[in-house]
Amino acid sequence: MQRLLTSSIPRQIRQQIQAFNRNMTTQRLHIAALGSSFASGPNIEPVENEAAGRSKRNYAHQLAEKLDAKLTDLTVSGATILNLLHEPQIVGWTSVFPPQVDSLPTDADIVTVTCGGNDMALGASSEEVTRRFLSLIDKIKEKATKAKIYLVQYPDVYGDATKPGRETAVSAEGIRVHREMKRKLAQANEDAARQRDGVEVVPVAEASRDHAIGSEVPWVDGLRRGPQWRNFIPYHPNLAGHTAVAEMLFDMISKQNTCKAD
């Protein structure tokens, strides 16, 4: 791995990076990102893969930049956990993405996963989603045996500050149902992580409570109208949201390496 540069970085973060550097070998850290649109960043420029709805500034790319790490980003908008596991994903008329785990690099040190919302939207129960996460974790461990797995929760789309109206076009009941689904999804992440070693939950759901649509600093885009937003996908994390998640992951990884150094 290359050593992380520590100039012009706050002292506390610099110390974390220095501790991380002490533990590094000659090989660069390798991050692999799996997931759906909440990981791929479909509304964020610049675009890496248009068919996948994948941005070059999604949280995985930002994390790799912070850690000077190699990145394999396999995220695809619209994916279910089954598309990560064993089902090819058809996008539009011409694009077919193989199951994401099939392309998982065996030398991955870190694997991030953000998925499950589409599973629940298609009728999967929270118990079934937990089972799918467990199958996915086992498959990742089978292929990338040394990888640390991070289940990255979805940010809150609707919060206490969200009101039905122009920015949401969702009724109060719709908001309530959506919030309950996200609560169950967050719980499924925690239930799966608790049943497997080497897996941690990134608590984005809790961290984003004050950053939903209608808040002063939203991490999620609401509904936008007008011809300039024709290809815009509402109710998805914006750049601020992806940046916040990258910072959470970076902090978790840095602290873990600091503990190892101690």
What CATH code is carried by the domain that includes residue 142? 3.40.50.1110
2: in domain: no
85: in domain: yes
1: in domain: no
29: in domain: yes
97: in domain: yes
The total number of structural domains that make up the chain: 1
91: in domain: yes
**pLDDT single digits (tens) 147-198:** 999 999 999 999 888 888 766 878 889 889 999 999 999 999 999 999 999 9
57: in domain: yes
Cα three-residue angle 59-41-187, rounded to 5 degrees? 70
Domain ranges, residue 86: 11-261
Per residue, what are the HEC states of 190-210?
HHHHHCCCCEEEECHHHHCCC
What is the model's pLDDT at position 13?
66
4: in domain: no
Q: Are 58 and 51 in contact (CB under 8 A)?
A: no
Q: pTM of the full predicted structure?
A: 0.86
Say how far apart CA 45 and CA 108 lie, in whole Å. 26
**pLDDT single digits (tens) 1-56:** 444 554 456 666 655 665 555 555 457 899 999 999 999 999 899 999 999 999 99
- Per-residue b or e along 80-111, where b marks 16 or more CB atoms closer than 10 Å to that residue's CB: bbbbbbeeebebeeeeebebbbeebbeebbbb
